[in-house]
Copies of this chain bind each other. A is one copy, B any other.
Amino acid sequence: MKVTILHGNIVSAPELGKLDITENGYLVAEDGIIVGVYETLPEKYAGCEVEDYGDKLVFQTFSDMHLHAPQYAMLGMGMDMPLIDWLNTYTFPTEAHFADTEMARKIYKQLAHELIANGTTRVVMFSSLHRESTLILMEELEKAGVTGYVGKVNMDRNGGENYQETTEESMEETIKWLEQCNFEHIKPIITPRFTPTCTNELMAFLGKLAKEKNLPIQSHLSENTGELAWVAELHPECKQYWETYDIYDLWNDKTVMAHCVWSDERERKAIKDAGVWIAHCGDSNLNLISGYMPVREMLNEGLRVTLGSDIAGGDRLSMFAVTASTIRGSKARRIMDNWQSEFLSVPEGYYLGTSAAAEFFGEKPGFAAGNPLHAIVLTDDKLPAVRELTVQERFERCIYRRQPDAVQVVWSAGRKVYTAE
Measuring CB to CB, which residues of chain A are less than 8 angstroms from any residue of chain B?
72-80, 94, 97-98, 103, 106-107, 110-111, 283, 286-287, 289, 291-292, 315-316, 324, 327-329, 331-332, 334-336, 339, 343, 345-346, 383-387, 389, 393, 396-401, 404
For residue A289, which residues in chain B have a CB less than 8 angstroms away from its CB? Answer: 331, 334-335, 339, 343
Q: How far apart are the CA atoms of A404 and B339 in the complex, in Å? A: 38
Given contacts A289-B335, A289-B343, A331-B286, contact A77 B396 (CB under 8 A): yes
Indicate which residue in B75, B383, B396, B400 contacts A397 across the interface (CB closer than 8 Å).
B75
A387 near B97 with CB under 8 A, answer yes
- When distances are taken between beta carbons in the complex, the residues of chain B under 8 Å from A332 are 286, 292, 329, 332, 335-336
A113 to chain B, nearest CB (A): 11
Q: How distant is the Cα of A412 from the Cα of B345 in the complex, in angstroms?
A: 39
- One complex includes copies of this chain to the number of 2
Residues of B within 8 A of A399 (CB): 76
B97 and A386 within 8 A (CB): yes
Q: Contact check, B286 vs A79: say whether CB atoms are below 8 A apart.
A: no
Find out whether the CB atom of B345 lies under 8 angstroms from the CB atom of A107: no
In whole angstroms, how far apart are the Cα atoms of A110 and B386 in the complex? Answer: 13
Q: State which of B78, B286, B345, B389 has its C-beta within 8 Å of the C-beta of A80.
A: B345
A98 — which chain B residues lie within 8 A by C-beta? 386
Contact between B401 and A328, CB atoms less than 8 A apart: no
- Docked complex Cα distance between A74 and B384 (Å): 8
A384: chain B residues at CB < 8 Å are 72-73, 106-107, 110-111
Which B residues lie within 8 Å of A291 (CB)? 335
